Amino acid sequence: MAESKQRLEWVDMAKGLSIFLVVMMYAASSVGEDTGGVGAFHWGIAFATPFRMPEFFLISGLFLSQVIDRPWRAFADRRIVHYFYFYVLWALIHIIFKVGLLSTNPVGALEQIAWAVVQPYGVLWFIYMLAVVGAATKLLHDLKAPVWAVFGAGAILQMASVHTGSYLVDQFCAYFVFFYAGFVLAPRLFRLAAWAQEHAGTALAALLAWAAINAALVFSPGFAMHPVHPAMGLAGLPGLHLVLALAGTAALCVIAALLTRLPWMNWLRWLGSKSLIVYVAFVLPMSIARTVLIKLGLIEPTLLTLLTMSVAIVSPLILYWLVLRTGWGRFLFERPAWAQLPGTKGSRPASVAVPAE
């Protein structure tokens, strides 16, 4: 039990780091787009570019082995329907609010809703893709596809930088290998985290070496800072990008394991346990906060990004707290019984909902 609790703690810490980096990226990019300025957070995001989203996918695949052998109906309830429920719900909320209400364009809202079925919508693409890569991994597992062959094919797709015009296809090619890596390398990653906790000094030295190499390759010739989309240097080369992504995700796992030794960092672990709640609901408060702050005259990129990011992270948590306190709107963060597949092990009585995490 103690080992299991320790594992969950570092995984939640890793989720906290991941959601922090993702919200930071969107906040910095949107500030850069609106002001044309570059601040300190832009440089931090540039450093994390090789591993920021790969880490999220890898962490999401860590516990897939616990459900991969379930019958398809039970697996689909937990790993496909679960994510699609939150994707559909929050895509509708985003589109209706941003297009239907703010832009007063109901026809445009309907068009975007229709497209959202086949093209992952906005920042919610990650939720959509979790269902897709989970289904693909289950299918390949049931077909008894050799692990090395699947991993190799996923690596080739990632290195190919596929651009078909279909966001669904392109993102699958770019990130499937990292989700699959989380699934097949989970035992090794858990051992790595345990080793880091027992050998903190050596782990810190290894992290410094990794950070130096990652920075040298990201900020090497070819790097170009941009307010919205900075371009990597040598780190963007096919193959090298894949290696840096896997190394970076392993490094974040080590960092997360070390942070569990610091009681004052428990807030980040708690944030990680609510990462999906933050992810689905941070965009609207982020947009509102950024717009209001700019109208108030704040255009300095670093401070504007910091304040925007803070509002984006805290607002979903406040909303979640209000939902729990009042009992109203639980469907926003908990999958209700009607959205569960009947007759599955993951289904619950009508009075019990399935939380987002």
Q: What is the pLDDT of residues 175-216, one digit of tens each?
A: 999 999 999 999 999 999 999 999 999 999 999 999 999 999
Radius of gyration for the chain, computed over Cα atoms and rounded to the nearest angstrom: 20
End-to-end, the C-alpha distance of the chain in Å comes to 20
Mean pLDDT of the chain: 91
**CB 22, CB 56: distance < 8 Å:** yes
CB 139 within 8 A of CB 216: no
Task: Say how many CA atoms lie within 13 Å of 343 toward its Cβ.
Answer: 3
Q: Which two tokens stand for residue 1?
A: 């039990």
Contact in structure between 337 and 350 (CB atoms under 8 Å)? yes
105-118 in b/e burial notation, b at 16+ Cβ within 10 A?
A: eeeebeebbeebee
Closest CA to 51 of 191, 192, 255, 188: 255
pLDDT greater than 50 at residue 349: no
Rounded CA gap, 333 and 230, in Å?
33
Torsional sign, CA 142, 147, 151, 157: negative
Rounded to whole angstroms, what are the CA distances from 122 to 170, 288, 320?
14, 16, 22
Confidence at residue 350, expressed as pLDDT on a 0 to 100 scale: 33
Which pLDDT value is given to residue 126?
A: 95
Answer whether 0.85 is exceeded by the pTM: yes
For the chain, the structural domain boundaries read 2-355
CA-closest candidate to residue 345, choices 131, 71, 61: 71
> What is the pLDDT, as a whole number, of residue 348?
43
What pLDDT, on a 0 to 100 scale, did the predictor assign at position 3? 45
Q: Is the pLDDT of residue 2 over 60?
A: no
Is the separation of the CB atoms in 21 and 48 below 8 Å? yes
Q: Phi/psi of residue 354, each to 5°?
A: -105, 120
Please check the confidence at residue 48 and state whether its pLDDT lies above 50: yes
pLDDT beyond 90 at 352: no
The confidence band for 102, taking pLDDT boundaries of 50, 70 and 90, is low
pLDDT band at 101 (very low <50, low <70, confident <90, very high): low
User: pLDDT band at residue 106, thresholds of 50, 70 and 90?
Assistant: confident
Question: In sequence order, what are the residues at sequence separation of 6 or more whose Cβ sits closer than 8 angstroms to the Cβ of residue 274?
Answer: 316, 317, 320, 357
